[in-house]
Amino acid sequence: MTLRRIFEPASIAVVGASANPTKRGYQILRGLAKSGYPGPVYAVNPRGGRLLGHVLLTSVETLPAGVDLAVLCTPAEMAPALVRACGERGVGGVVVLAVGFGESGSRGTELEARLGEAARAHGVRVIGPNTSGMMNLHQGVNLIGVRDVRAGGIALLVQSGNIALGLMNEIGARTREGISVCCGLGNQVDVGFGEVLEYLGEDEHTRAVIAHVEGFTDARAFLRAAARVTPRKPVVVIKSGRTAVGARAALSHTGAVAGPYDRLRAGLAQAGVTEVRRTDQLVAVAHALASQPAAPPGSGIAILSDGGGQNTLAVDAITESGARLATLARETRDRLREVLGPAAAVANPVDVAGAADTDPGAFARALDVLAADPAVGVVLVVGLFGGYGIRFSDTLTAPETLAARAMAARTRALGKAMVVHSMYATYDSPPLDAFVDTGIPVIESLEAACRAAVELEGRSRRRRAPRWNPDGDPGGIGAVGPSRTTSRAGPIPPHPAIRAARAEGRVTLTEMEARALLAATGLAFPAANVADSGDAAARAAERLGCPVAVKLLSRRITHKSDAGGVVLDVADGAAAARAYEAIVSNAHAYARAEGLPPAAWSVLVTPMLPGPTAELLIGAYRDSQLGPMLTVGHGGTNVEVLSDVAHRVLPAGPGDIEMMIGELRASPLLAGSRGHPPVSVAGIIQAAEAVAGCVMTWSDVAEVEVNPLFTYSDRAVPADARVVLSPP
């Protein structure tokens, strides 16, 4: 079923109704009455009697058939049996409030598993457990029990009751907005973030979504939903637990440098989600995105203030974010000088320099000029405005209010966005009320106001960018959907290299096997010969042409360098034979130390490549939450130390990969510096597409890594490759 029976229920049962005003079973009954819920409400308590005008039913079994939604205000241990009983009575959905499940240890985890089994077996959708509840004020549904919350256009998806309460209080106090839906996801035994976001995307009352996330049960489902919702409605996320160390044991550098939060952050950006890291930015950013127009293409942010110190801080914050500051036309600057006088700064930031101290209308006259400049898409007002009547004389309050109304009308008429930072945002201020009444955000924190302006400027760029489709194919061999394991001709058969490894019970491919697998998706390697003796290594070196590299070829040892398994710049055949003997000796010693079984050792002989402009890493792997991922980064043996990487959730097209290259700290080197020509971006993109195509084509492949990828002005050449299969 859809979630409409939960969020738009025609009938509700409160199981565990209580006469104690401190209990949720009382607060919810009272909340439903006060919020004007129009449907029938059934109160259940085994003692029977009457409560708040309801005749108490003694059990779930006595409910009428087909109640849409039940909320369980009962101890955790009772939840599985009650969910089964609800399913047998045809209840569509259940909200489980109790704590004591997976968050509380092994016994709670077992109880949560039984709850999930009961829900699935009886066709009941469950929100929770361990949830603050749910409300849809436009439907009169208040299962949280909070009082005096306005219905409005901002939806809240949370995993903390305190976070939800704080956001409701801030929205009520700082805006004329209200709440459409608030849903505490809790432990997500059934209903998760993605499914609720899908519902909110279609909800006519919701204009913006704020999500506080501790953890996803299905992060890709959330990204899939967000990619569909964000072109129409802003989604603002704060993620807690960002610094938790992932438990994933990686056999490649790629997994080691791609932390769980780094991967999620990349996916959120791809899906159009606005992520913030401070709670004081959540409402400011969401309200601005919901209430203000996006900046016109090519425009930027203009700052209008009455103080140089805050101006400088605002410029720093905006510039550091990567947003665009508007470059004002000469005509705009000249006109501002006429309006504000010779003491004003008119370049951007614009500083009225005391002109408003006795005449707040100076702000309106300046904005009238500033907002008309085509280079300006967002006006950020910074400083004292809204407090002139409080700071200097109450005779200034009336003209200040008129100025605020004029500023709001002017930006609205021009289709420009405005954000107001005011040191008097928490005061009783008629001028600021005039802004708030028209939907203009008024924000006390300078940092939060800057962030709101930055996101308004960035939204127009995001809307013009190609939309990311997690289930589509934006082009390119690596830009395929979540699986390429089938084709029009039927399932793609396992590659011979994969079959060979599986037959021997291995999860790591040899370098030659990895080369063959990647060649099938379009990656061209230098020539190479396998040698299993010193004489064979010498012949291979002479045949290929020296100098050569001699590398260990092992079915057990993954990192060749760690085992002393690489010798470079081998000058001739005799040196190649010596390199073989040294590598075999090192491999024997390493295997004994690591407890690996004895093996017959061989080596790979390949021509030395000329010195590259830079060494990169290209990796792909399967994240348990996000699915296939691609990593591009600074490569070589120090990749984990440098940690200069960019990530994308696959699929990723050529444009995405080019953006990844630009995100690296090493990108200036790649673009050409100190006499070096720029590297071949096309070559890097081709290599990345091949690596991505490998993990997408064969479901057996868990990790792929090319490290290093040597980059030159005309090509990119893989110097080594590693492939790890999923456990059998």
Q: Taking a C-beta distance cutoff of 8 angstroms, is the pair 334, 308 a contact?
A: no
What integer is the mean pLDDT of 245-265? 51
Classify residue 158: in a domain, yes or no: yes
The answer to whether residues 404 and 539 belong to one domain is no
Kindly state the DSSP code that residue 435 receives in the 8-state scheme.
Answer: H
The answer to whether residues 689 and 600 belong to one domain is no
Residue 474: the pLDDT is: 38
* pLDDT > 70 in the chain, percent: 94
The answer to whether residues 114 and 199 belong to one domain is yes
Classify residue 270: in a domain, yes or no: no
How many other C-beta atoms lie within 10 A of the C-beta of residue 240?
A: 15
The answer to whether residues 557 and 669 belong to one domain is no
**Three-state DSSP string of 446-461:** HHHHHHHHHHHHHHHH
Which residues pair with residue 376 across a beta bridge?
300
Residue 378: the pLDDT is: 97
From 573, 607, 641, the end of a domain falls on 607
Sign of CA dihedral 652, 655, 657, 663: negative
The answer to whether residues 573 and 490 belong to one domain is no
Residue 87: the pLDDT is: 96
Q: Is the pLDDT of residue 480 over 60?
A: no
The backbone torsions φ and ψ at residue 531, rounded to the nearest 5 degrees and listed phi first, read -130, 135
- Predicted confidence band at 641 (pLDDT cuts at 50, 70, 90)? low
For residue 511 the two structure tokens come to: 């370098």
Q: Taking a C-beta distance cutoff of 8 angstroms, is the pair 148, 117 a contact?
A: no
Q: Is the pLDDT of residue 86 over 60?
A: yes
For residue 698 the two structure tokens come to: 């064969």
Classify residue 261: in a domain, yes or no: no
Classify residue 472: in a domain, yes or no: yes
The answer to whether residues 197 and 153 belong to one domain is yes
Q: Is the pLDDT of residue 70 over 90?
A: yes
Residue 637: the pLDDT is: 67
Distance CA 103, CA 109 (A): 7
What is the span of the domain harbouring residue 139?
A: 4-240
Q: Is the pLDDT of residue 636 over 70?
A: yes
The answer to whether residues 13 and 77 belong to one domain is yes
Position with higher pLDDT, 469 vs 83: 83
For residue 224 the two structure tokens come to: 């899939």
For residue 13 the two structure tokens come to: 């049962």
For residue 52 the two structure tokens come to: 């708040």
Residue 344: the pLDDT is: 87
Residue 658: the pLDDT is: 93
pLDDT tens across 658-698, in order? Answer: 999 999 988 888 888 767 789 999 999 999 999 999 999 99
Q: Which of 716, 305, 32, 421 has the alpha carbon at shortest distance from 41?
A: 32
The answer to whether residues 447 and 490 belong to one domain is no
Position with higher pLDDT, 174 vs 725: 725
Q: Which DSSP string do the residues of 633-651 spell out, in sequence order?
A: EE-STTHHHH--EEEEESP
Residue 491: the pLDDT is: 65
Q: Which DSSP string do the residues of 113-150 spell out, in sequence order?
A: HHHHHHHHHHT-EEE-SS---EEEGGGTEESS---S--
Kindly state the DSSP code that residue 58 receives in the 8-state scheme.
Answer: S
Q: Is the pLDDT of residue 596 over 60?
A: yes
Classify residue 159: in a domain, yes or no: yes
Kindly state the DSSP code that residue 72 receives in the 8-state scheme.
Answer: E
The answer to whether residues 496 and 586 belong to one domain is no
Residue 419: the pLDDT is: 98
pLDDT tens across 87-137, in order? Answer: 999 999 999 999 999 888 889 999 999 999 999 999 999 999 999 999 999
Q: Is the pLDDT of residue 624 over 90?
A: no
Q: State the CATH number of the domain containing residue 655.
A: 3.30.470.20
The answer to whether residues 400 and 473 belong to one domain is no
Q: Is the pLDDT of residue 481 over 60?
A: no
Q: State the CATH number of the domain containing residue 41.
A: 3.40.50.720
Residue 418: the pLDDT is: 98
| CB neighbour class for 592 (10 Å; exposed up to 12, middle 13-18, buried from 19) | exposed
Strands 345-346 and 350-351, bridge-based pairing: antiparallel
Classify residue 283: in a domain, yes or no: no
Residue 387: the pLDDT is: 94
Residue 472: the pLDDT is: 61
Cis amide prior to 607 (ω within 30 degrees): no
Which residues pair with residue 208 across a beta bridge?
154
Distance CA 24, CA 19 (A): 10
For residue 245, which amino acid is it?
V
The answer to whether residues 628 and 571 belong to one domain is no
Average pLDDT, the chain: 90
**What torsion do the CA atoms of 106, 109, 113, 119 make, to the nearest 10 degrees?**
150
From 193, 210, 240, the end of a domain falls on 240
Classify residue 250: in a domain, yes or no: no
Classify residue 443: in a domain, yes or no: yes
What integer is the mean pLDDT of 61-76? 97
Q: State the CATH number of the domain containing residue 602.
A: 3.30.1490.20
pLDDT tens across 512-536, in order? Answer: 999 999 999 999 999 999 999 999 9
- Predicted confidence band at 493 (pLDDT cuts at 50, 70, 90)? confident
Distance CA 96, CA 190 (A): 11
The domain tally of the chain equals 4
Distance CA 421, CA 622 (A): 44
The backbone torsions φ and ψ at residue 507, rounded to the nearest 5 degrees and listed phi first, read -110, -10
Position with higher pLDDT, 2 vs 687: 687
C-alpha distance from residue 313 to each of 124, 310, 445, 500, 630 (Å): 53, 5, 12, 61, 36
Residue 490: the pLDDT is: 57
Residue 4: the pLDDT is: 95
Q: State the CATH number of the domain containing residue 383.
A: 3.40.50.261
Distance CA 589, CA 568 (A): 20
End-to-end Cα separation, the chain, in angstroms: 35
Q: Where are the alpha helices (DSSP H) in 322-417?
A: 330-340, 361-370, 388-391, 397-414
Residue 247: the pLDDT is: 33
Residue 630: the pLDDT is: 97
Q: Taking a C-beta distance cutoff of 8 angstroms, is the pair 707, 617 a contact?
A: yes
Q: Going by C-beta distance under 8 Å and a sequence separation of 6 or more, which residues neighbour residue 204? A: none
The answer to whether residues 641 and 688 belong to one domain is yes
For residue 552 the two structure tokens come to: 């260990």
From 579, 607, 635, the end of a domain falls on 607
What integer is the mean pLDDT of 169-196? 94
Angle at the Cα of 133 (from 132 to 137), degrees rounded to 5? Answer: 125
Residue 243: the pLDDT is: 63
